[in-house]
Amino acid sequence: MNVARLYAAHDLRLAEEPVPEPGPDEVLVRVSAVGLCGSDVHWWSAGGIGDARLERPLVLGHEFAGVIASGEQRGQRVAADPAVPCGVCEFCREDQPNLCAALRFAGHGREDGALRQYLAWPARCLHPLPDTLSDEDGAVLEPLGVAIYAVDLGQLRPGMTVGVYGCGPIGLLLLQVARVAGASGLIATDRLAHRLEAARSLGALVLPADGQERAAILAATGGRGVDVAFEVAGENEAVETAVGSARPGGRVVLVGIPDDDRTSFSASTARRKGLTIQLVRRMKHTYPRAIRLVESGQVEVRSLVTHQFPLDAAAEAFSCAQQRKGIKVIVRP
């Protein structure tokens, strides 16, 4: 089978490797669509993310869908949860599997991901795809799951106002999930015009991230600020905007991953407002909800896919994603 492995920053090599043999409780999956996440781009451009660095040549890709190619469910189209918790540690027993200390995650550390034609994956982490969802839809369920979990952490209630700062795929999905959760007002910021236009099409008041957005958000909310602010840009400017535009007693949810592994904000502003600040660690129990939201039409994911590449053009796909030419880049192994 064909495999794309990352050997160092910007050093992605295509090679032939044996088809993997499924282990206990695993099935073979023929990969049909892989979304490139911002964290994948971190790996590709810097050879790591946060405090994790390349330990060996790594197969990236954790947003993926495919077809079961072994066992009794052969032929079943599925979306894959890339996180495999141990199930026995303290956090797993407390129903916090996303915090599992022994968690395996596709395309991270020593766990190869989905930028290959086949992979063996635990059957318990595979979710059947309805016929109405395409392979690309299935790959976008992973970032949708992150958006759902972020809204869970934000404790969003009907009638609240929401700010989403960063309109990449997760930011645009957050706007939709917030609307489903009952948000009465949506405000979005980004530096890129085409992403602001996508946010506008979802009903958000859009503002360019030009250094003046905090004042504009306060003006748009009558000086009150937003009830829940979601930072999805991975940049401290967006974090400061979230803290500065949240109302007193509001919540700030940090979703973005900063390039330099540092997040900072004005402590006095956050303290005087009595803000609650939450950080998102992937997702928790969100795939079934994500599938229902897309199947019912309450969340639309297909238009987010703007670029598709074959596996042998994976390096070009990463370059496209890094330059943020569109919204969601998909690789088709």
Alpha-carbon gap, residue 221 to 219, rounded angstroms: 5
Residue with tokens 């200390």: 101
Same domain assignment for residues 82 and 164: no
Q: Is 295 part of any domain?
A: no
* 206 and 85 within one domain: no
- Within-domain flag for 272: yes
Residues 271 and 307 in one domain: no
Q: Let me know if residue 198 belongs to a domain.
A: yes
Indicate whether 309 belongs to any domain: yes
Residues 268 and 158 in one domain: yes
CA distance linking residue 300 with residue 5, whole number of Å: 32
Question: Can you give the C-alpha Rg of the chain in angstroms?
Answer: 20
For residues 98 and 13, state if they share a domain: yes
Residues 165 and 235 in one domain: yes
Please report whether residue 288 resides in a domain: no
Number of domains in the chain: 2
What average pLDDT does range 126-133 have in this prediction? Answer: 98
11 located within any domain: yes
- Predicted TM-score (pTM) of the model is 0.97
- In a domain? residue 137: no
**pLDDT at site 48:** 92
Share of the chain above pLDDT 70, in %: 100
Residues 103 and 215 in one domain: no
* CATH number, domain containing residue 19: 3.90.180.10
- pLDDT for residue 50: 87
| pLDDT surpassing 90 at residue 164 | yes
Mark whether 179 and 266 lie in a shared domain. Answer: yes
CATH of the domain at 269: 3.40.50.720
Question: Same domain for 111 and 149?
Answer: no
Q: What is the pLDDT of residues 37-80, one digit of tens each?
A: 999 999 999 999 988 999 999 999 999 999 999 999 999 999 99
pLDDT (mean) for 125-151: 98
pLDDT in tens, 291-323: 999 999 999 999 999 999 999 999 999 999 999
**pLDDT at residue 304, as a whole number:** 97
- Domain limits at 224? 145-279
Q: What is the pLDDT of residue 260?
A: 87
Burial class (CB in 10 A: 0-12, 13-18, 19+), 65: buried
Tell me the three-class secondary structure of the chain, residue by residue.
CEEEEEEECCEEEEEECCCCCCCCCEEEEEEEEEECCHHHHHHHHHCEECCEECCCCECCCCEEEEEECCCCCCCCEEEECCEECCCCCHHHHCCCHHHCCCCEECCECCECCCCECEEEEEHHHEEECCCCCCHHHHHHHHHHHHHHHHHHHHCCCCCCEEEEECCCHHHHHHHHHHHHCCCCEEEEEECCHHHHHHHHHCCCEEEECCCCHHHHHHHHCCCCCEEEEEECCCCHHHHHHHHHHEEEEEEEEECCCCCCCCCCCCHHHHHHHCCEEEECCCCCCCHHHHHHHHHCCCCCCHHHEEEEEEHHHHHHHHHHHHCCCCCEEEEEC
Is residue 290 domain-resident? no
